[in-house]
Amino acid sequence: VFVLLICGVIFLLSRTGRGSEQLVIGTEQVMPDGVKILGIDVGGDTKAKARQAVSAAADEIIDSALITINAAGEKYTLNAEQINLAYDIESTLQRALAYVPAESGVVDVTSASAPGEINDIFTWNPTNLRMEIEEIAEEFDIKPVEAEIEPLHAPTGITFNFKEGKAGRVLDVEQTYEYISSMLGTGMYTFSMDAIYNSITPSITQADLQGGFGLRASYSTQFPTSRSDETVQNRVFNIE
């Protein structure tokens, strides 16, 4: 068996039999020097070897991918399956094979932060991401509680207690989506973030109720006792 390296391609030459002049030729592509995928230096490796190394690293990233949204002591998570995080190993290897060092004058096809480095190999489903955030919002959102008047009965009359309302909250789906998308775009697939949400003030507050009654937050009203001439007055107006 003879091995020849010509233009980045390995040629394997072998004779078909003793005394035979016929040659069987097989080829295997070799990755260009100076190219890295996910930080792995695959320069000089065969395509098969590079595929194995990069796939192992990419699978590990996907398995550990987890987005955590922290909100008021609660945690909501999104994993790789929920957002369809994936990669295409063959197209990634083709990009690497097309790499030409910058000094050659050819434009670098890796489109990464450093020449020869390919890190942006993952894709995700934007529609699924938005749907998952909307599902989180259904659990996270809380409607505001309006202020109310609570009557308290006492032997001397009725006391009215004004109860303050409580603010609600609503997750900002659009801003949350934009933030997560930007993080994924920079190659961050495992990270924590604080929930991006808005508070909702009750439409009726304690002050509104107090102002409507023109009284203090807590007061009592006394009903007068029956007068001695009440029965006579009722008869005058034919009231039994």
Provide DSSP, 159-201. EEEEEP-B-EEEE-HHHHHHHHHHHHHTT--EEEEE--EEEE-
Q: Count CB neighbours of 227 within 10 A.
A: 9
Displacement of CA 194 from its chain's centroid (Å):
11
Is a pLDDT exceeding 50 seen at residue 233?
no
Q: Output the pLDDT for position 189.
A: 96
77 backbone dihedrals φ, ψ, rounded to 5°: -125, 155
Summarize pLDDT for 54-66 with one digit per residue, the tens: 999 999 999 999 9
Give pTM, 2 decimals. Answer: 0.67
Q: Output the pLDDT for position 113.
A: 56
Is a pLDDT exceeding 50 seen at residue 2?
no
Those residues with Cβ within 8 angstroms of residue 139's Cβ, 6 or more apart along the chain or in another chain: 76
Those residues with Cβ within 8 angstroms of residue 73's Cβ, 6 or more apart along the chain or in another chain: none
Q: Output the pLDDT for position 152.
A: 72
b or e along 44-83 (b: 16 or more beta carbons within 10 Å of the residue's beta carbon)? ebebeebbebbeeebeebeeebebebebeeeebebbbebb
Can you list the alpha helix ranges (DSSP code H) found in 75-124? 80-83, 89-97
Cβ–Cβ under 8 Å, residues 91 and 74: no
Lowest average pLDDT, out of 70-79, 134-143, 147-156, 217-226, goes to: 217-226
Q: How far apart are CA 218 and CA 210, in angstroms?
A: 9
- Mean pLDDT confidence for 142-161: 74
